Structure 1
Amino acid sequence: PPPPPTGVGCTVTRGFIKNQLDLITNNVGPKITVTINGVTLTKEEIFAALDAPTRGDSRIQLKAQLITALANISLGATTNPAVDAAITNAQLYLLAGSTATQSQISAAISTLTSFNEGTAGNGASDHCDSAEEAILKDKA
């Protein structure tokens, strides 16, 4: 992936990305770009995926956590090898015809959720504190 733009180097959750989507997808300050399997998502597609109810469909949850992780990276967060592998796997699992098992999907969701919540460790970014979130909002 291309190098991330200058950001604050911390992670935010799915809810933050969804609630601040207008701010962080404009053309001022940090701008997120989310590309899944070669397709760059529009702001509307990102919002729809983050707003979709995830109960009962692990692939919807996987897509939401993947989008959040890719947005965090786009905003300057750093990953670790486990997160990188989960991102690669998640993209494969979301392809039509994927034979991923529920266990594989759940493992990717767990790793991506930990990353987005800032608890992945091993060199991955921590979660943004309120001051860092304010910086993201101000830069947007």
Structure 2
Amino acid sequence: MFYQVIGETAMLLHFAFLIYVTLGGFLAWRWPRTFWFHVPVAAYALAINIVGWECPLTYVENWGRVNAGQSGMGDTGFIDHYLTGIIYPQEHALTAQFLVGVSVAVSWIGLLIILWRRRRGPTPRNHDTDGTTPHA
């Protein structure tokens, strides 16, 4: 039972990590300080994809499942095991990675725009006292 809990917990943490990588930058729109937590998480996810590292959570999940008497993920990683072919077809794996990258980029660009607008402050309105815009 203990090993099964470890495997299940690692799987849930993996899903949480992927959701945070994909959507965590949007949290910074509301709470800008969370951006500084999202940067290393997104960079680590990018490095895993570029370098081909195996995520430690994959190892922990496999270890827990095998010791619980279950089949592990085998030679496939977490994404190949749980997402590819289930959430999106195998031939669209690169598209899925691209869309995650676009989501991160859009969230960060959006944050820059929000912060830029906040720093500029409210835009002054040039109105006469009766509410109409003066003409030259």
TM range (shorter): under 0.3
Higher helix fraction: Structure 1 or Structure 2? 2
Higher RCO, Cα 8 Å, sep 6+: 1
Q: Tell me which structure has the larger Cα radius of gyration.
A: 2
Task: Give the structure-2-normalised TM-score.
Answer: 0.25
